Amino acid sequence: MRDNGVVEVGPGPLGLGEVVRVARGGARVRLDEDAVAEMAASRGRIEELAEGATPAYGVSTGFGALATRHIDPALRAQLQRSLVRSHAAGSGAEVETEVTRALMVLRLSTLATGHTGIRPKTAKVLESLLNAGITPVVHEYGSLGCSGDLAPLSHVALTIMGEGPVRDAQGNLREAGEALKEAGIEPVELAAKEGLALINGTDGMLGMLIMAIDDLTRLLKTADISAAMSVEALLGTDRVFAADLQALRPHPGQAASAANLRQLLGGSGIMESHRNEGCTRVQDAYSLRCAPQVAGAARDTVAHARLVAERELVSAIDNPVVLADGRVESNGNFHGAPVGYVLDFLAIAVADVASMAERRTDRMLDVARSHGLPAFLADDPGVDSGHMIAQYTQAAIVSELKRLAVPASVDSIPSSAMQEDHVSMGWSAGRKLRRAVDGLTRVLAIELLTAARAIDLRRPHLPGAGTGAAVALLRESVAGPGSDRFLAPEIENAVRLVADGSFVAAVEAATGPLA
């Protein structure tokens, strides 16, 4: 049950939206009573193993290639501390707070399944850190995406022990011990198996996947808006988006994108202005005519990624795990391949959607292909350069996106003395996808900025209600056509309106919900 904005974490799975609320919205979390009971039950089995003579990985042995060493009971608390301290070996820039909060709540969700053998009191420290807004410092490099996101999660586990640097709720860099004391949180001394339970999961890469799905769901609607505006600006046709034509190739994403384009272009005076015998063009360029095929394929890719994310959310990823019958078994469920593959797949889709948007922008600037628009949409071409260099910026980003589309998941580097001889690189796939999503945001913003200027230049003919709403929103912060002015701030205004969902909201207020 969820109430008062609190996300309840229990043995059942979190929803994608709940993860986003905690990661991005700072929502509070609460472990439910069933989760606490499940953790307590499985903890009893771990303590039995810890007291017994039978070797159990991570309970009474070392880790990775050192798993053959039996650890004396007197050294097992040190074993857990040493595991976390040695594995907290990340390097490079801090990752974003939302990424760390996502991996924290996802790890808490796995702990709540009762399959990891952690003590409830240890899980409750993680709960308290989230609610206090204390965020461990996690670094860009360190995870190979197999045995989970070990280094990133180890930095979180270090904080649970009261060690290492953190950011407090105000974003200040603090020592963990000081920040926890101020928040009234008591750090814990990890017991048998607990260090491993805290660090052996795919939570970082999964968190990045979930947030990318959230971003791309919005950005693909935005891509339909910018495509519709470009179709108007270039005096293209909307006949190719007809439902019966799209039904000949029944991909659901394509159908949704084409429906959006029809909705956005409905009632367009610009479209009506050239529906006559005087129009001699038979068909538009691919970047216009095939917009729903490309954006639709990207939608279907997001749908597949969502399916993978939902499966991961019902998973209990640790090694070893405590099963319902009391067995404690080693396994390979920590391997990040399922998540890494779709992170890479999404980066390919992002690059292609951006590439098509850049091609439409370029057409609007080329006097030979823009059907009557001034060169580069300049007020006085030659004296003014218009949007010439805005397209250069787009092109530079698209080139970068193509490099980011090279899959990380095909590159495995063996580790741990060849015990861990195949790894997923899923964390790396997630990191580059985040950069790609930012790039797509900027490419679409420049297309919207350019198309709005071109639509204004088509006056007295007016755009449709949907595309007109996008132009009107932009005009609240960016002036219309005129002589050259400082362009970078205008681009950043458009980027902000794309990133925060304002374009989609304004258009949907005029047209109704987009698919």
- Selection from 75, 69, 83 nearest residue 50 by Cα: 75
Q: Which residues contact 32 (CB under 8 A, 6 or more apart)?
A: 1, 8, 9, 10, 112
Query: Cα-flanking dihedrals φ and ψ of residue 192, to 5°?
Result: -50, 130
3-class SS of residue 172: coil
pLDDT higher than threshold 80 for residue 490: yes
- Give the residues across from 381 on adjacent strands: 384
Q: What is the mean pLDDT of residues 455-478?
A: 97
- Give the residues across from 8 on adjacent strands: 30
- Please give the Cα distance from 165 to 247 (Å, whole number): 56
Q: What is the mean pLDDT of residues 358-387?
A: 97
> What's the CATH code, domain 7-201?
1.10.275.10
Instruction: Please state, as a whole number, how many other Cβ atoms lie within 10 Å of the Cβ of residue 8.
Output: 18
Percent of the chain's residues with pLDDT above 90: 82
- Give the residues across from 9 on adjacent strands: 31
pLDDT value of residue 65: 63
- Please give the Cα distance from 515 to 512 (Å, whole number): 10
Domain 208-316+351-511 in CATH 3.40.640.10? The answer is: no
Q: Which residues contact 34 (CB under 8 A, 6 or more apart)?
A: 10, 11
pLDDT higher than threshold 50 for residue 489: yes
For the record, the structure tokens of 35 come out as 């989760």
Residue corresponding to tokens 């109430």: 3
For the record, the structure tokens of 107 come out as 């790890």
Name residue 102's amino acid: A
- Give the residues across from 135 on adjacent strands: 167
pLDDT value of residue 280: 61
pLDDT value of residue 46: 87
pLDDT higher than threshold 70 for residue 2: no
pLDDT higher than threshold 50 for residue 1: no
R_g (Cα) of the chain, nearest Å: 26
pLDDT higher than threshold 60 for residue 3: no
Q: What is the mean pLDDT of residues 171-197?
A: 95
pLDDT digits (tens, 9 = 90+) for 69-78: 777 777 777 8
Instruction: Answer for the pair 112, 130: CB distance below 8 angstroms, yes or no.
Output: no
pLDDT value of residue 76: 75
pLDDT higher than threshold 80 for residue 60: no
Domain spans, the chain: 7-201, 208-316+351-511
Instruction: Answer for the pair 375, 381: CB distance below 8 angstroms, yes or no.
Output: yes
Q: What angle do CA 304, 307, 308 make, to 5 degrees?
A: 90
Between residues 433 and 279, the one the model is more confident about: 433
pLDDT value of residue 333: 87
Query: Cα-flanking dihedrals φ and ψ of residue 141, to 5°?
Result: -110, 145
- Selection from 196, 480, 502, 159 nearest residue 330 by Cα: 196
Percent of the chain's residues with pLDDT above 70: 97
CA distances for 183 relative to 126, 132, 514, angstroms: 13, 7, 44
* Window from 95-109, 205-219, 263-277 with minimum mean pLDDT: 263-277
Instruction: Answer for the pair 168, 174: CB distance below 8 angstroms, yes or no.
Output: yes
Pairing, β 29-31 against β 7-9:
parallel
pLDDT digits (tens, 9 = 90+) for 227-280: 999 999 999 999 999 999 999 999 999 999 999 999 999 999 998 888 776 666
Instruction: Please state, as a whole number, how many other Cβ atoms lie within 10 Å of the Cβ of residue 181.
Output: 13
| Prediction pTM value | 0.95
Residue 286 designated active-site:
no
For the record, the structure tokens of 143 come out as 């995870």
Choice among 57, 286, 341, 392 that is catalytic: 57
Task: Determine the distance from the C-alpha atom of residue 151 to the mean position of all C-alpha atoms in its chain, rounded to a whole number.
Answer: 20
pLDDT higher than threshold 50 for residue 55: yes
For the record, the structure tokens of 76 come out as 């097992």
For the record, the structure tokens of 455 come out as 């639509």
pLDDT band at residue 388 using 50, 70 and 90 as cut-offs = very high
